[in-house]
């Protein structure tokens, strides 16, 4: 019943898109009816048993009173003896009454324990050895030797696969769906163990390595970018919870995620729903790349990292990957062959077997499976990058295909209008503004004005209008401020970041605070005078930094979200937002009043 409801709600958009609400309602009604009938049968049996036991108990007491009463009247028994008998009878009935409820309890217990024991008794399919080999000097060499594996032992997905990836090399893996590409990822991460053969990392069988050592040096960007319920920052720093804010923002910048994070309502502290609800597919993918970049693995595995996203987002992700793969051993799995044009070597799989491997030019010259895939994608794809895959014989710049030269990784030119410029190393790093490099002032009616001070050169100044967003408005409201502007096309871009507003002159601080006040209409709750509930709503009477206010909030967990470590952000029925930066800092009575209603 729960599975049916969960499946229906998870696919509610598909249900509505195909107009199948009636069909799903009928399915849910059938499941509910079955559950109702089963529950009624159990309750009827339990109630009947309890009623029968109560009848027996009552009849027993009645018989004792009748027989004992006659004996007392006939002076064959004293009244004290009768009372004693009744007391003994009550003592006897008490365990029986408990026993009458035992059946229901036992049934529920056995059902629950069976499910728990099934889970506990599940054999460990990927055991870790008690004594493992240390993996300290990580070079990044990967070697598959005769690997055979199948999720069903009778249907192998990979068959006798052998290949080697040299340290620092980028290897692309292509093939049709179901050819075993994702299975390679699962085996590298030891989510499963090989059934035949072995996988070596720097000459060490991965089964001899500890899970911690293996996964600390192996970073995987999955095809489906999973995000946890929490803030953007919590998802970004998931692999390194103790990382610094500067390191996290640098990783996001390199992955092309920093800009869209700053544009979010609460920056890096923006809450995400289940599975990253609130982000697009491309944004989740870039955030996943940033998370892996921050994790800083020696070996990188990209499993369809640019699948299911549009061309513009793919370009941004491709540029982010250019940064990510530098200096790392990389295995990139892709359906879009244009994403592998910079690979040192390409391996072609089909039906679990390794068919071809070599450079892009070698495989085109061989005119095998890879060349056929390139021709197919060139014919059906509108992506200009795909056209570049085909090397024409008349092209004097084509790569050598005789094998005399080792393949060199191509450095792509910067794309016009792209979010990141791969030729400009500063495009992937945070540019910090200082009072020595910039002047910031407020002008009416334009607003914020940023004046760049050029210490050298013929043009000493340049002015730029802009605005300010706070990357961490909950925990650092006056730090990590992103100063942003617009280019000639009207596209938003970042002029730079302010590390600490306190380091700036008074005029600049006032200007930035005015700019922040325009963007963040958040009222800070400092006192709660009254808080009552009625009909699923909460009525607030609070004191804020802008005076006393009253508002109504729908009594739902989605309307009062975590804000920082100990704060809450509350949305009223008109979508106005109120912030309690630290619930523990409220007066005791106010805090108790608040936690009585908002306890999550």
DSSP 446: T
Beta bridge partners of 452: 438, 462
Residue 586 placed within a domain: yes
Does 528 share its domain with 503?
Answer: no
Does 75 share its domain with 112?
Answer: yes
Looking at 120, 146, 180, the residue that finishes a domain is: 120
Q: Is the pLDDT of residue 387 over 80?
A: no
What pLDDT sits at residue 437?
83
Longest dimension (CA), the chain: 129
pLDDT digits (tens, 9 = 90+) for 217-227: 888 888 778 88
Does 374 share its domain with 475?
Answer: no
Residue 287 placed within a domain: no
pLDDT digits (tens, 9 = 90+) for 6-51: 777 778 888 888 888 888 888 888 888 888 888 888 788 777 877 8
Collapsed DSSP state (helix, strand, coil) of residue 7: helix
3-state secondary structure 321-360: HHHHCCCCEEEEECCCHHHHCCCCEEEEEECCEEEEEECH
Instruction: Place 600 in a pLDDT band, splitting at 50, 70 and 90.
Output: confident
Count of domains for the chain: 4
DSSP 412: P
Does 20 share its domain with 104?
Answer: yes
Does 89 share its domain with 26?
Answer: yes
Looking at 475, 509, 543, the residue that finishes a domain is: 509
Mean pLDDT score, 472-493: 84
3-state secondary structure 45-72: HHHHHHHHHHHHHHHHHHHHHHHHHHHH
Is the CB of residue 168 less than 8 Å from the CB of residue 329?
yes
Instruction: Place 456 in a pLDDT band, splitting at 50, 70 and 90.
Output: very low
Written as six digits, the tokens of 191 are 């989510």
Query: What whole-number percentage of the chain has pLDDT above 70?
Result: 85
Query: For position 336, which CATH number holds?
Result: 3.40.50.300
Asked which of 330-344, 389-403, 539-553 is least confident by mean pLDDT, the reply is 389-403
In the predicted model, what is the mean pLDDT of the chain? 80
User: Which residues have a Cβ under 8 Å from the Cβ of 574 and sit 6 or more positions away?
Assistant: 551
Instruction: Place 527 in a pLDDT band, splitting at 50, 70 and 90.
Output: very high
Instruction: Place 313 in a pLDDT band, splitting at 50, 70 and 90.
Output: low
Does 14 share its domain with 161?
Answer: no
Residue 221 placed within a domain: no
Closest to 154 in 3D by CA, of 195, 197, 198: 195
What pLDDT sits at residue 137?
84
**Of 17 and 450, which is predicted with more confidence?**
17
Closest to 181 in 3D by CA, of 2, 70, 299, 332: 332
Is the CB of residue 546 less than 8 Å from the CB of residue 523?
yes
Closest to 319 in 3D by CA, of 304, 332, 306: 306
Residue 337 placed within a domain: yes
Residue 292 placed within a domain: no
Asked which of 47-56, 70-79, 192-201 is least confident by mean pLDDT, the reply is 47-56
Residue 339 placed within a domain: yes
Instruction: Place 402 in a pLDDT band, splitting at 50, 70 and 90.
Output: very low
Q: Is the pLDDT of residue 551 over 90?
A: yes
Looking at 480, 509, 538, the residue that finishes a domain is: 509
Does 6 share its domain with 77?
Answer: yes
**C-alpha R_g of the chain:** 34
Does 203 share its domain with 338?
Answer: yes
Instruction: Place 316 in a pLDDT band, splitting at 50, 70 and 90.
Output: low
What is the DSSP annotation of 111-168? HHHHHHHHHHTS--SS---SS-B---S----EEEEEEEE-SBTTB-SEEEEEEEE-TT
What pLDDT sits at residue 457?
36
Query: For position 52, which CATH number holds?
Result: 1.20.1560.10
Closest to 303 in 3D by CA, of 247, 415, 234, 225: 225
Distance CA 447, CA 429 (A): 27
Phi-psi region of 260 (alpha: psi -120 to 50; beta: other; left: phi over 0): alpha
Is the CB of residue 384 less than 8 Å from the CB of residue 416?
no
Residue 146 placed within a domain: yes
Residue 99 placed within a domain: yes
Does 538 share its domain with 572?
Answer: yes
pLDDT digits (tens, 9 = 90+) for 89-128: 888 877 777 776 777 777 778 888 888 888 888 877 788 8
What pLDDT sits at residue 395?
42
Mean pLDDT score, 161-180: 88
Does 487 share its domain with 536?
Answer: no
Mean pLDDT score, 455-472: 63
Segments forming the whole domain that contains residue 55: 2-120
Phi-psi region of 21 (alpha: psi -120 to 50; beta: other; left: phi over 0): alpha
Does 584 share its domain with 531?
Answer: yes
Does 547 share its domain with 504?
Answer: no
Mean pLDDT score, 260-266: 88
Q: Is the pLDDT of residue 393 over 70?
A: no
H or E element in which residue 588 lies:
helix 588-597
Asked which of 383-397, 424-438, 466-480 is least confident by mean pLDDT, the reply is 383-397
Q: Is the pLDDT of residue 541 over 90?
A: yes
What pLDDT sits at residue 131?
82
Collapsed DSSP state (helix, strand, coil) of residue 190: coil
């Amino acid at each position: 019943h729960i599975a049916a409801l969960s499946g229906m709600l998870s696919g509610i958009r598909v249900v509505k898109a195909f107009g199948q609400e009636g069909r799903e309602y009928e399915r849910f009604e059938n499941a509910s009816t079955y559950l109702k009938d089963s529950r009624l049968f159990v309750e009827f049996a339990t109630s009947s048993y309890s009623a029968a036991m109560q009848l027996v108990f009552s009849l027993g007491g009645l018989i004792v009173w009748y027989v004992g009463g006659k004996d007392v009247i006939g002076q064959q028994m004293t009244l004290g003896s009768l009372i004693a008998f009744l007391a003994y009878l009550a003592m006897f009935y008490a365990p029986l009454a408990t026993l009458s409820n035992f059946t229901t309890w036992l049934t529920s217990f056995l059902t629950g324990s069976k499910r728990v024991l099934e889970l506990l008794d599940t054999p460990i399919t990927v055991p870790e050895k008690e004594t493992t080999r240390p993996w300290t000097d990580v070079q990044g060499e990967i070697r598959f030797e005769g690997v055979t594996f199948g999720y069903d032992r009778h249907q192998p997905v990979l068959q006798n696969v052998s290949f080697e990836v040299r340290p620092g090399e980028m290897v692309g893996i292509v093939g049709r769906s179901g050819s075993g590409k994702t299975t390679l990822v699962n085996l590298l991460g030891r989510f499963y163990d090989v059934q035949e053969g072995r996988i070596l990392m720097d000459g060490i069988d991965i089964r001899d390595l500890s899970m911690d050592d293996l996964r600390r040096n192996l970073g995987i960007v999955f095809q489906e970018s999973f995000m946890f319920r929490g803030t953007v920052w919590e998802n970004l720093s998931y692999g390194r919870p103790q990382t610094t804010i500067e390191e996290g923002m640098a990783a996001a910048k390199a992955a092309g995620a920093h800009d869209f994070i700053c544009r979010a309502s609460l920056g890096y502290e923006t809450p995400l729903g289940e599975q990253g609800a609130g982000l697009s597919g491309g944004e989740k993918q870039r955030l996943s790349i940033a998370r892996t970049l921050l994790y800083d693995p020696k070996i990188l595995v990209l499993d369809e990292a640019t699948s299911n996203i549009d061309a513009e987002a793919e370009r941004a992700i491709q540029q982010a990957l250019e940064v990510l793969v530098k200096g790392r051993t990389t295995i990139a799995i892709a359906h879009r062959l244009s994403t592998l044009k910079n690979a040192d070597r390409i391996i072609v799989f089909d039906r679990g077997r390794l068919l071809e491997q070599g450079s892009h030019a070698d495989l085109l010259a061989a005119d095998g499976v890879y060349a056929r895939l390139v021709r197919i994608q060139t014919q059906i794809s509108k992506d200009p990058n795909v056209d570049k895959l085909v090397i024409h014989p008349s092209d004097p710049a084509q790569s050598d295909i005789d094998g005399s030269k080792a393949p060199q990784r191509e450095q792509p030119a910067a794309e016009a209008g792209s979010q990141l410029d791969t030729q400009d190393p500063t495009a992937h790093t945070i540019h910090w503004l200082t009072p020595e490099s910039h002047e910031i002032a407020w002008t009416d009616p334009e607003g914020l004005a940023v004046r760049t001070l050029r210490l050298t050169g013929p043009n000493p100044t340049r002015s730029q209008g802009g605005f300010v967003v706070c990357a961490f408005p909950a925990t650092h409201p006056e730090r990590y401020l992103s100063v942003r502007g617009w280019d000639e096309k009207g596209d938003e871009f970042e002029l730079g970041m302010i590390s600490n507003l306190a380091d700036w002159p008074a005029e600049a601080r006032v200007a930035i605070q005015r700019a922040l006040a325009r963007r963040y209409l958040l009222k800070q709750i400092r006192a709660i005078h009254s808080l009552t509930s009625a009909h699923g709503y909460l009525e607030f009477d609070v004191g804020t930094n802008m005076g006393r206010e009253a508002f109504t909030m729908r009594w739902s967990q989605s309307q009062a979200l975590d804000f920082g470590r100990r704060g809450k952000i509350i949305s009223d029925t008109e979508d106005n937002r109120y912030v309690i930066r630290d619930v523990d800092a409220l007066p005791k009575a106010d805090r108790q009043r608040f936690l009585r209603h908002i306890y999550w």
